[in-house]
């Protein structure tokens, strides 16, 4: 029983040493940033965040048809007016985060 406990203790201590050595290696050699001015060279990867659109309808007596679409502050807004209703769609544009190596 003592041998098994001793072996488990040694195994735990050696794995702690491996984890610590790995952490130190990564800390010394790996560094990422999202800011291009701190980077060295081209982006090494990117993350794309996609958003789902939001729709809604308003009942109204408009009397005419009209369709509009515009982009403002990172959102695309679309509206469709029919004689009896207005329909809207708002979509936040995709966000791309570039990852650079420091």
pLDDT tens, residue by residue, 13-33: 666 666 667 677 766 666 666
More confident position, 40 or 55? 55
pTM: 0.53
Whether the predicted pLDDT of 57 surpasses 70: yes
Average the pLDDT over 66-91 and give the result. 94
Task: Report phi then psi at 13, rounded to 5.
Answer: -65, -40
């Amino acid at each position: 029983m003592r041998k098994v406990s001793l072996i488990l203790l040694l195994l735990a201590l050696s794995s702690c040493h491996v984890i610590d050595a790995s952490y130190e290696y990564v800390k010394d050699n790996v560094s990422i940033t999202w800011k291009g001015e701190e980077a060295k060279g081209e982006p090494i990867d990117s993350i794309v965040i996609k958003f789902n659109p939001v729709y809604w309808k308003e009942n109204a007596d408009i009397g005419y048809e009209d369709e509009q679409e515009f982009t403002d502050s990172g959102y695309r807004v679309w509206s469709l007016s029919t004689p009896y209703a207005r329909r809207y769609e708002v979509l936040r544009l995709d966000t791309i985060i570039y990852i650079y190596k420091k």
